[in-house]
Structure 1
Amino acid sequence: MRLLEAVADHEYGAPAKQLARETGLALPTAYHLLRTLVHEGYLRRDRGLFFLGDAAERLSSSGAEQKRRSTVADTLAHWRDSIGVPVYYARYRDGEIEVICVSASREIPAVEEWADFRESGHAHAIGQCLLSQLDEDARRDHLARYPVRPLTPYTVRDSHTLLRRLAGMPRMEPVVERQEYALGTVCAAIPITAGTAAATMAISLPLHQADRLLPAARRLQAEIGRHLGSLTLSISI
């Protein structure tokens, strides 16, 4: 690891003797480790100089992604506790609804995913919010792959009705659904603009607390507005 760190400090490469000196390793040990790291793809050697290899770049990228995920998870947990609702982060990528992170607890439980979120986007606030951010062709393509089907007596009954609803949704307003995905549950989702990506953060509450839904959604929306700049890179994971 010290050798990898030393190589990373030299944008234009470094020879084995210099790396051994900087890491405090005996030269034979440094040579042996450098050869192993080259063999495994963590380093590459060019004209006697060592550079980071593809495997190290992938490792660095993975670490950065984990850090971004941790930032999102920590932020959602803060909002969960301060607002008193479970908080969800989701996005639409490559034609699919992806729930990236859910922050809930025993005292503040999330909705049980009893029907696959990817296939039931027409029924829950997260899916409706994401679909509302797409153009009509993309919406029709999604519904052709995942047709509208009733999950509860309150679920939208057909794709034409859903498409009209999506087309009429006010831009940047919370999307609310009441018992369309799960009986006894109400949800609200807030659209997020992060480059060209369709994303959303959402909350849910039991039906007997439905009067809290819109105030809580407005509060979350205000928090998102205050922190979106610092979260923009993180929510692009």
Structure 2
Amino acid sequence: MEPTFARAERTPTLIASVGRALAVLDCIGSASRPLSAKVIARATALSLGTTYNVLRTLAHSNYVVQDADGFVLGPAHPALAADGGAVALAQGRAVLNGIRDELRVAAYLSRYVDGEIEMVDIVDGPLSPRVDLWVGLQDGAHATAFGKQILAVLDPAARRDYITRHPLHELTPYTVSSPREFLHRLEARPAVSVDDQEYALGFTCLAVPVASSSWLGALAISFPSGRARENSDRENSAGYAKVLQAGAAQLSMVLGIHPGPGQGQPFHVLK
């Protein structure tokens, strides 16, 4: 597709600078992660100097926002102005993308709302397929790492209320379906929750908490079960957990949440 600014410059009645700004906004808005000025310049066929000038102007008016990893749409952009939370979730998706790209896994962000566990976002790719959510979360969250992590931080009464309303269906031979055993395991409140083929055969999932006074959720990853048993430091449960905890810390900042104990240092999205 021909860049917007190029068409504008050949049409005398149009303002070329507006066309450049629209081209930059289109480029940023279509991306699934923050973009650097160099990437934007290449994608829009603008010079790097012009790109910086446009970005400074857009940032001054809050149409774009710059963080350590690049530019994303800002709260003044019409697509996001009606929902301030969309900005945070867009930046949160960049964290999930970074985890996927570094570990070659699918990444999930979920939360607890009005007594239910819901999925907020999933990122995957050809080399990191997601687990097929063949059972809805209302019937299967107890078998997932993120579901167990969320339930583990609830107070005991809320935890019991949840499993009373959501029977612990046995989804695989590894699913814990005994309410007494399930509650006993949650009482330990593990820093990293594990689903080892409890939801889907052949897949292991890990999850860590992402929580504040206004948000209770979990960040999780899934991968083929055999990978957790390999000898490589990068591809074992401890290595995965370290990156997950760092990702949860960055999500805490992106979502306006203060990192909890043990969540590590901010995760930096890979270029």
Which TM-score band applies after superposition, normalised by the shorter structure?
0.5 to 0.7
State the one-letter code of the partner of 1:105: G
Identity %: 33
Q: Give the corresponding residue for 2:89.
A: 69
**Inter-CA distance 180–77: structure 2 relative to 1 (3 Å threshold):** same
Alpha-carbon displacement from aligned partner over 1:126-177 (angstroms, at most 9, x marks no partner) = 110010010111111111111111000000021111011101233xx11012
Q: Give the corresponding residue for 1:8.
A: none
3-state DSSP of counterpart to 2:139? coil
Cα pair 1:149 1:158 within 8 Å, conserved: no
Q: Give the corresponding residue for 2:72.
A: none
State the one-letter code of the partner of 1:146: H
**CA separation in 1, counterparts of 2:137 and 2:196?**
16
Cα pair 2:139 2:169 within 8 Å, conserved: no
State the one-letter code of the partner of 1:144: T
Is 1:232 aligned to 2:216, yes or no?
no
Is 1:91 aligned to 2:115, yes or no?
no
Q: Give the corresponding residue for 2:181.
A: 161
Matches within 5 A, 1:35-74: 62-74=82-94
Cα pair 2:228 2:237 within 8 Å, conserved: yes
Matches within 5 A, 1:1-237: 62-170=82-190, 173-211=191-229, 212-225=236-249, 227-233=250-256
Alpha-carbon displacement from aligned partner over 1:74-104 (angstroms, at most 9, x marks no partner) = 2211221122211110110100101100011
Cα pair 2:108 2:122 within 8 Å, conserved: yes
Name the one with the larger helix percent: 1
**CA separation in 1, counterparts of 2:81 and 2:199?**
36
Alpha-carbon displacement from aligned partner over 1:183-217 (angstroms, at most 9, x marks no partner) = 01111000122225321100111112123233112
Query: With structure 2 as the length reference, what TM-score do the two structures score?
Result: 0.60
Cα pair 1:95 1:142 within 8 Å, conserved: yes
What is the Cα-based RMSD across aligned positions, in Å? 2.2
State the one-letter code of the partner of 1:199: G
Shift of 1:222: 2.4
State the one-letter code of the partner of 1:110: R
Unaligned runs of 5+ in 2: 1-77, 230-235, 259-271
Shift of 1:224: 2.8
3-state DSSP of counterpart to 1:201? strand
**Inter-CA distance 194–232: structure 2 relative to 1 (3 Å threshold):** farther
* Deviates most, 208-217 or 87-96: 208-217
**CA separation in 1, counterparts of 2:252 and 2:196?**
31
Shift of 1:229: 5.0
Cα pair 1:96 1:118 within 8 Å, conserved: yes
**CA separation in 2, counterparts of 1:62 and 1:102?**
23
**Inter-CA distance 79–209: structure 2 relative to 1 (3 Å threshold):** same
State the one-letter code of the partner of 1:232: L
Alpha-carbon displacement from aligned partner over 1:44-103 (angstroms, at most 9, x marks no partner) = xxxxxxxxxxxxxx9875342322221111221122112221111011010010110001
Larger radius of gyration: 1
Unaligned runs of 5+ in 1: 1-57
